[in-house]
């Protein structure tokens, strides 16, 4: 009985996680499953999508969007380091997940 209960809980959890991932993708949010699987466009993503990047919270996401609006978009990925709060460490952390 205990084993059956555990199996049911595991199956429900798997279904819930799958549902959440599908809903996030429908909303345009990237679900970073494994490194480099899904790349977020730093020129096209909104703040919520940018928050999916490792190490990027609401404040940095807003700064990226604001920088992009003021400058007309990023010309290179490295230009992202011009955004206050994004240094070499954060840049290297998000590099596998971003594209222009």
Domain coordinates of the chain in residue numbers? 1-31, 33-100
**Nearest alpha carbon to residue 42 among 24, 63, 59:** 63
| CB distance 43 to 73 below 8 Å | yes
pLDDT tens across the length of the chain (100 residues)? 888 888 888 888 877 666 666 555 445 444 444 555 678 899 999 999 999 898 899 999 999 999 999 989 999 999 999 999 999 999 999 999 899 8
For 55, list phi and psi in degrees, rounded to 5: 85, 0
DSSP classification of residue 99: E
Contacts of 65 (CB under 8 A, 6+ apart): 46, 47, 50
What residues form DSSP beta bridges with 99?
Answer: 41
Reported pTM: 0.64
CATH of domain 33-100: 1.10.150.320
């Amino acid at each position: 009985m205990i084993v059956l209960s555990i199996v049911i809980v595991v199956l429900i959890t798997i279904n819930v996680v799958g549902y959440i991932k599908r809903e996030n993708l429908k909303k345009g949010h990237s679900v970073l499953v494994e490194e480099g699987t899904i790349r977020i466009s730093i020129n096209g993503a909104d703040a919520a999508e940018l928050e999916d990047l490792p190490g990027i919270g609401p404040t940095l996401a807003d700064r990226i969007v604001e920088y992009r609006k003021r400058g007309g978009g990023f010309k290179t990925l490295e230009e992202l380091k011009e955004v206050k709060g994004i240094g070499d460490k954060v840049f290297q952390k998000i590099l596998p997940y971003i594209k222009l």
